[in-house]
Structure 1
Amino acid sequence: MSQERVLITGGASGIGAAIAARCRQDGYQPVIIDRIGDGIQADLSDSKETAHALEQALEDGPITRLVNNVGIVVPAHAENQTLDELQLAWSLNVRCAVQCMQALLPGMKAAEFGRIVNMSSRAALGKELRSAYSASKAGLLGMTRVWALELGLHGITANAIGPGPIRTELFDKANPPGDPRTERIIKSVPVKRVGTPDDIAQAASFLMDERSGFTTGQVLYVCGGMTVGVASV
């Protein structure tokens, strides 16, 4: 019997690579689309390249698990955030997720089973210098809830993960080590450490599990407790 496959966007590094490694441990075959690495290479900010990459991913048959992980942070003060940056964040963080879901949906519906995990962010609750990023990640949360409502009758769940500060190259680029803002972030984490990509992979593993079919439309904040007292119950 062939391994079940999981499509992971942006799976060549950081959180995506950790999720891919965890998929292998869990007995799945990760199918990675990214600009780099040994998987399917594509610029997912471009809808045509995304479509071609999805065609390649589905050449070997349907894929019933999807992790919309790819994303970009374009830090800027609200008055300086450019429309090009806003468009880039929206295309990569939101449009790409919709396009991937729609491509895989026929196979999920035919199997009467599917697991969709959208990588949002604690920044969806609001964070300085994150107008474009927060807007796109909040949009992803809204879509997650809609997908849960619309797709549940087909055995498909849709959930989101909201990472807090996770030590990745992307995190360090947006939050330079030694910067006072970065130090304030670390000190504010109740468990007194920055998260790791494996912390996020653990959450994704749970949400992708066949036994997690009664969990849908939810946001799992993996943030060391930072959202306590901030996010609504």
Structure 2
Amino acid sequence: MEKRVAFVTGAGRGMGREISLTLAKQDMTIIVTDVNMENAEETVSRVHNLGGEAYAVYCDVTSLESVQQAVEKAMSHTSQIDVLVNNAGWDKIEPFLKSEPSTWQTIIAINLMGQIHTCKEILPKMIESGYGKVINIASDSGRVGSSGEAVYSAAKGGIITLTKTLAREMARHKINVNCIAPGPADTPLFQEIGTYNEGIAAALTKAIPFRRLAEPSDIANAVRFFASDESSYITGQTLSVSGGLTMV
């Protein structure tokens, strides 16, 4: 089987870095994209330490033009993109009535429009090659809501329905489109968010049946499955990886 190429957004740290390393262990070439090139280069270095192949590419998912340039750069390295992992995300926890339009716009631009942009640019490449796996990272907040995350939940809910629609449209091309909905995970982003609400990690841990936050590897392992040929007959699905916090 030819070596597959995975384009991972927000791959400079946290969950995106772990996803990159996990897929690299499956002998995939990784296009490590991020707005922070120092972080992206560090992820590439770690892939190289595993004996894998990776390239750092700047990509601001909020800009369609930036995504187009990133895809062009990626194709210059590898000439193909087989797997798209839409991992880039951002949030700010606060009561909806205290939130500001500028925050809404940023959350929607990164979490919803970012995935629309990458799908718009990369799906045609997959159709042309006759192979493709898209794994969108949503959130369980997009399924059941989450206090302090109204707009984020709305954006992630949009990703879940985007996934289902694209899965229907791409099925004729034999392209799988699936979604992972993580629960609270112990990532740098979560640690930053936690500063807005002291004690949030402890409260969530108590509410999770497994009594721990997700590790980035928990999410990465789910991505690995959807990126593999073992999931070839699965499309349009949303998999919660939440330790039982939600059971939908």
Structure 1 counterpart of 2:58, from 41, 48, 55? 41
2:150 alignment partner in structure 1: 131
Secondary structure of the 2:31 match is strand
* Aligned residue identity for 1:26: Q
Give the structure 2 partner of residue 53 of structure 1: 70
Mapping for residues 1-233 of structure 1, pairs under 5 Å = 3-36=3-36, 37-38=40-41, 39-59=56-76, 60-124=78-142, 125-176=144-195, 179-228=198-247, 231=248
The letter of the residue matching 2:17 is A
Give the root-mean-square deviation of aligned CA atoms: 1.7
Q: 1:2 to 1:156 in 2, by over 3 A?
A: closer
Measured after TM superposition, the shift of residue 221 of structure 1 is 0.5
Q: Offset at 1:3?
A: 2.7
Distance 1:117 1:99 in 2: 14
AA matched with 2:95: H
SS of structure 2 residue aligned to 1:104: helix
Flag structure 2 segments of 5+ consecutive residues without an equivalent.
42-55
Contact 1:74 1:132 in 2 (8 A): no
* % identical equivalent positions: 27
Q: 1:35, 1:42 within 8 Å by CA — same for their partners in 2?
A: yes
Find the aligned partners of 2:129 and 2:234 in 1 and give their Cα distance: 19
Gap runs ≥5 in structure 1: none
Q: Is the 8 A contact 1:145 1:218 kept in 2?
A: yes
Q: Any idea what SS the aligned residue of 1:221 has? A: strand
Post-superposition CA distance 1:37-62 (Å, at most 9, x none)? 22112332233222222221122312
Give the Cα separation in 1 of the matches to 2:124 and 2:163. Answer: 18
CA distance in 1, matches of 2:98, 2:71: 35
The aligned length equals: 229
Structure 1 residue identity aligned to 2:92: V
> C-alpha displacement at 1:182, in angstroms?
2.6
1:178 shift after superposition: 8.6
Whole-angstrom CA distance in 1 between matches of 2:25 and 2:200: 36
TM-score computed with the length of structure 2 as normaliser: 0.87
